[in-house]
Amino acid sequence: MKEFVVYILYSEKYDKSYTGYTSDLISRFRSHNQLATKGFTIRYRPWKVVYLEVVETKKEALVREKFLKSGKGREWVKDKLIK
Protein backbone atom coordinates (compact mmCIF):
# COMPACT_ATOMS: atom_id res chain seq x y z
CA MET A 1 0.00 0.00 0.00
CA LYS A 2 1.30 3.42 -0.94
CA GLU A 3 1.29 6.13 1.73
CA PHE A 4 0.88 9.82 1.10
CA VAL A 5 2.45 12.74 2.91
CA VAL A 6 0.79 16.10 3.44
CA TYR A 7 3.51 18.69 3.94
CA ILE A 8 4.02 22.36 4.62
CA LEU A 9 7.10 24.19 3.41
CA TYR A 10 8.23 27.56 4.70
CA SER A 11 10.52 30.16 3.18
CA GLU A 12 12.06 32.24 5.96
CA LYS A 13 13.61 34.62 3.46
CA TYR A 14 10.21 35.61 2.03
CA ASP A 15 7.89 34.65 4.93
CA LYS A 16 5.84 32.39 2.63
CA SER A 17 4.39 28.93 3.15
CA TYR A 18 3.35 26.24 0.70
CA THR A 19 1.10 23.25 1.37
CA GLY A 20 0.98 20.13 -0.76
CA TYR A 21 0.86 16.35 -0.76
CA THR A 22 2.85 13.61 -2.43
CA SER A 23 3.67 9.93 -2.36
CA ASP A 24 7.41 10.67 -2.76
CA LEU A 25 8.45 13.43 -0.38
CA ILE A 26 12.18 13.37 -1.12
CA SER A 27 11.70 13.84 -4.88
CA ARG A 28 8.99 16.44 -4.36
CA PHE A 29 11.09 18.46 -1.93
CA ARG A 30 14.05 18.31 -4.31
CA SER A 31 11.79 19.56 -7.08
CA HIS A 32 10.62 22.51 -4.97
CA ASN A 33 14.15 23.51 -3.98
CA GLN A 34 16.25 22.62 -7.04
CA LEU A 35 14.70 21.07 -10.13
CA ALA A 36 11.53 22.99 -10.95
CA THR A 37 11.87 25.74 -13.55
CA LYS A 38 8.41 27.28 -13.23
CA GLY A 39 5.65 27.65 -10.69
CA PHE A 40 5.01 29.28 -7.32
CA THR A 41 7.74 27.57 -5.34
CA ILE A 42 10.70 28.63 -7.48
CA ARG A 43 10.17 32.30 -6.56
CA TYR A 44 10.56 31.76 -2.82
CA ARG A 45 13.49 29.37 -2.52
CA PRO A 46 14.97 28.06 -0.28
CA TRP A 47 12.21 26.06 1.41
CA LYS A 48 12.34 24.06 4.60
CA VAL A 49 9.86 21.43 5.73
CA VAL A 50 7.98 22.62 8.82
CA TYR A 51 5.20 20.00 8.95
CA LEU A 52 4.58 16.44 7.78
CA GLU A 53 1.54 14.24 8.16
CA VAL A 54 1.37 10.69 6.80
CA VAL A 55 -2.02 9.40 5.60
CA GLU A 56 -3.03 6.14 4.00
CA THR A 57 -4.88 7.26 0.87
CA LYS A 58 -4.68 9.94 -1.77
CA LYS A 59 -8.22 10.99 -0.89
CA GLU A 60 -7.24 11.56 2.76
CA ALA A 61 -4.23 13.59 1.62
CA LEU A 62 -6.38 15.74 -0.63
CA VAL A 63 -8.93 16.39 2.12
CA ARG A 64 -6.22 17.32 4.63
CA GLU A 65 -4.43 19.56 2.12
CA LYS A 66 -7.70 21.31 1.33
CA PHE A 67 -8.31 21.95 5.05
CA LEU A 68 -4.79 23.32 5.58
CA LYS A 69 -5.34 25.72 2.67
CA SER A 70 -8.67 26.93 4.09
CA GLY A 71 -8.99 29.97 6.34
CA LYS A 72 -9.02 27.90 9.54
CA GLY A 73 -6.17 25.75 8.26
CA ARG A 74 -3.99 28.76 7.36
CA GLU A 75 -4.73 30.20 10.81
CA TRP A 76 -3.63 26.92 12.44
CA VAL A 77 -0.44 26.86 10.35
CA LYS A 78 0.43 30.41 11.29
CA ASP A 79 -0.32 29.93 15.01
CA LYS A 80 1.34 26.52 15.45
CA LEU A 81 4.13 26.34 12.89
CA ILE A 82 5.22 29.77 11.70
CA LYS A 83 6.16 32.27 14.34
Q: Where are the domains of the chain?
A: 4-80
Q: How far apart are CA 2 and CA 45, in angstroms?
A: 29
CA distance to 13, 28, 37, 49, 69, per residue, from 6 (Å):
23, 11, 22, 11, 11
Multiple choice CATH, 4-80, 3.40.1440.10, 3.90.226.10, 3.40.50.720, 3.40.50.300 = 3.40.1440.10
* pTM check: above 0.85: yes
Mean pLDDT confidence for 20-38: 94
Residue of 64, 66, 18 whose CA lies nearest to 44: 18
pLDDT tens-digit map of 46-65: 999 999 999 999 999 999 99
For the cut 90, the answer to whether the pLDDT of residue 1 exceeds it is no
pLDDT recorded at residue 82: 81
Q: What is the mean pLDDT of the chain?
A: 94
75: left (phi over 0), alpha (psi -120 to 50) or beta: alpha
For the cut 90, the answer to whether the pLDDT of residue 83 exceeds it is no
